[in-house]
């Protein structure tokens, strides 16, 4: 059987894990890693600044900061290469990105899966299922304690910040506190940086503390967690209690979900999809019958 040829765009936490996980995925092979500049990077695998160097590529995992996804995905879709991204801005921004990528994907006869992470992503599917089981009710999504990659990346992008780690603490019922640990560049003014972080849309909705430290290593644990609960009713039955809990190494879960979504792109019609718009069975290797026999 022909293997799905996948390139990994970016080589940060998620990119590294994607390379690792692809090596353990029997129906796929790594075409190479794309980086803006070659330099210190992975050894023993092809690295280039453009996808052309790798021969035919079926799908590109965009393991890049969320905010540059809207400009990066089109480069691949126009070449007829499927894209999988972990875009994490919810609401209107997500609807817009999906719409733009949908047009480009159809033009390129390609498939784009957007928001292919665990939240948004698999958690979104859980919220949908919980709502299908108990349509009237209250869902709460509580993250952490753990480090949020997207939030860390955002804080790191602020000029004057040398490095940052965003710790998410669940206060309960969907409320969170964000503790942002930062190391600063020479001459940076802490109060200005703290204000800039707090003003970002990603942080504005939560209570955010910015904490200056000399050393970030003690904060760099990659474990993260989520708990989704729904208390609702199905028809006349109230008190339907649904709960999902995950405790995961975050970048590895993110990379693995992108890989599963890459598999699904090979089974979908051209266009763009969020994870919840894909039949879950298409995320898994093998024939539908084999999967049904094994896990339905």
Which residues make up the interface to a second copy (CB under 8 A)?
A: 17-18, 20-21, 24-25, 90-92, 94-95, 98, 115, 118, 120, 122, 124-129, 131-136, 139, 222, 233-237, 239-249, 251-253, 255-257, 260, 274, 276-281, 283-285, 288-289, 291-293, 295-296
CB of 75 to a second copy, least distance (A): 24
Q: How many CB atoms lie within 10 A of CB 140?
A: 15
Pick the closer one to a second copy by CB: 44 or 56. Answer: 44
Nearest to 155 by CA among 164, 142, 144, 143: 164
Task: Taking each helix axis as running N to C, give the angle between helix 92-107 and helix 69-77, from 0 to 180 degrees, rounded to the nearest 10.
Answer: 20
Q: Rounded to the nearest whole angstrom, what is the least distance from the CB of residue 202 to a second copy in the complex?
A: 16
**Minimum CB separation from a second copy for residue 23, in Å?**
8
Structure tokens at 259: 């890989």
Give the pair of three-digit tokens for residue 296: 């339905």
- How many angstroms separate the CA atoms of 88 and 76, rounded? 20
41 vs 285, beta carbon nearer a second copy: 285
Beta strands in the chain (DSSP E): 4-9, 28-34, 47-48, 59-62, 82-85, 111-114, 136-143, 146-147, 161-172, 175-184, 207-212, 223-234, 237-249, 271-274
Report in angstroms how near the CB of residue 25 gets to a second copy at its nearest.
Answer: 8
| Angle, alpha carbons 209-211-216 (nearest 5°) | 130
The vertex-205 CA angle with 198 and 243, nearest 5°, equals 130
State which residue, 126 or 210, has the beta carbon closest to a second copy.
Answer: 126
Which one, 22 or 104, has the nearer CB to a second copy?
22
The rounded distance, in Å, linking the Cα atoms of 251 and 172 is 24
- Which lies closer to a second copy via its Cβ, residue 53 or residue 100? 100
Task: Choose between 25 and 66: whose C-beta lies nearer to a second copy.
Answer: 25
Give least dist CB 24 to a second copy, A: 6
End-to-end CA distance of the chain: 25
Q: How far is the CB of 134 from a second copy (least distance, A)?
A: 7
């Amino acid at each position: 059987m022909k293997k799905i040829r996948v390139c990994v765009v970016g080589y940060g936490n998620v990119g590294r894990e994607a390379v690792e996980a692809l090596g353990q995925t029997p129906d796929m092979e790594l075409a190479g890693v794309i980086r803006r500049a070659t330099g210190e990077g992975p050894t023993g695998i092809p690295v280039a600044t453009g996808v052309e160097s790798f021969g035919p590529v079926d799908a590109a995992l965009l393991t890049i900061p969320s905010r540059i996804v809207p400009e990066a995905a089109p480069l691949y879709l126009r070449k007829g290469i499927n894209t999988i991204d972990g875009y994490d801005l919810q609401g209107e921004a997500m609807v817009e990105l999906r719409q733009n990528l949908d047009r480009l994907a159809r033009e390129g006869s390609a498939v784009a899966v957007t928001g292919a992470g665990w939240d948004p992503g698999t958690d979104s599917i859980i919220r949908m299922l919980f709502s299908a089981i108990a349509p009237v009710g209250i869902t709460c999504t509580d993250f952490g304690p753990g480090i949020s990659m997207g939030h860390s990346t955002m804080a790191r992008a602020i000029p004057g910040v040398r490095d940052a780690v965003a710790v998410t603490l669940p206060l309960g019922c969907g409320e969170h506190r964000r503790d942002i640990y930062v190391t600063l560049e020479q001459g940076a003014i802490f109060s200005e940086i703290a204000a800039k972080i707090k003003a970002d849309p990603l942080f504005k909705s939560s209570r955010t503390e910015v904490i200056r430290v000399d050393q970030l290593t003690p904060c760099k644990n990659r474990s993260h967690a989520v708990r989704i609960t729904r208390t609702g009713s199905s028809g006349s039955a109230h008190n339907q209690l649904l709960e999902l809990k995950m405790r995961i190494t975050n970048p590895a879960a993110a990379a693995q979900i992108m890989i599963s979504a890459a598999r699904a792109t090979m089974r979908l019609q051209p266009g763009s999809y969020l994870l919840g718009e894909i039949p879950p069975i298409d995320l898994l290797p093998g024939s539908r019958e084999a999967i049904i026999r094994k896990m339905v």
